[in-house]
Amino acid sequence: MPQIICALFAGLVFGAGIAISGMIDPAKVFNFFDFAGNWDPSLALVMASALIVTTIGYRFVLKRPGPLCDTRFHLPTRRDLDLQLIGGSALFGIGWGISGFCPGGAIPALGLGRGEVLVFVGAMVIGIALARLFRNILATRKG
């Protein structure tokens, strides 16, 4: 139960930050990529702020013997670049650029009740399911 409460709290803080920063509005994202027209640097400020908070936060959190709501920290162990990482990053960026939504902004935007958000989140869920299916098929063929 404590893990669910921690996850709920973290999600609420994240969603509130996304909503307050205006990143649930796809026009903000489109304007960030519109260098020749109505360029809006606010997305870069949100990303820079997140990077600063994360960098400082990790310095404090990783000094603790363990997380508050789990038995251990779940940190990435791989340091190499592979086709899955590069391909997934490219698909993420293309989807974000085409739709104006990233998953972090789309989930809080569901509360707006806009149709394009529902379409995006639905497509995202289908894409995740297809990626898992494809990965399982590849793992079965290798094994």
The 10s digit of each residue's pLDDT in 52-87 is 999 999 899 999 998 888 888 888 898 999 988 898
How distant is the alpha carbon of residue 78 from its chain centre?
A: 19
Helix (H) or strand (E) holding 31: helix 26-33
Q: Provide the number of structural domains found in the chain.
A: 1
The pLDDT, as a whole number, for residue 35 is 87
Query: What distance in Å separates the CA atoms of residue 15 and residue 24, rounded to the nearest whole number?
Result: 9
* pLDDT-derived band at 143, boundaries 50, 70, 90: low
Whether the CB-CB separation of 30 and 18 falls below 8 Å is answered with no
Domain housing 11: 2-142
pTM exceeding 0.85: no
Task: Please report, rounded to a whole number, the percentage of residues in the chain having pLDDT higher than 90.
Answer: 29
Higher-confidence residue: 119 or 23?
Answer: 119
Q: At a CB cut-off of 8 Å and minimum separation 6, what does 108 contact? A: 14, 15, 16, 18, 19, 24
For the segment 118-131, the average pLDDT, to the nearest whole number, is 92
Nearest to 116 by CA among 1, 18, 16, 26: 26
Does residue 25 surpass a pLDDT of 90? no
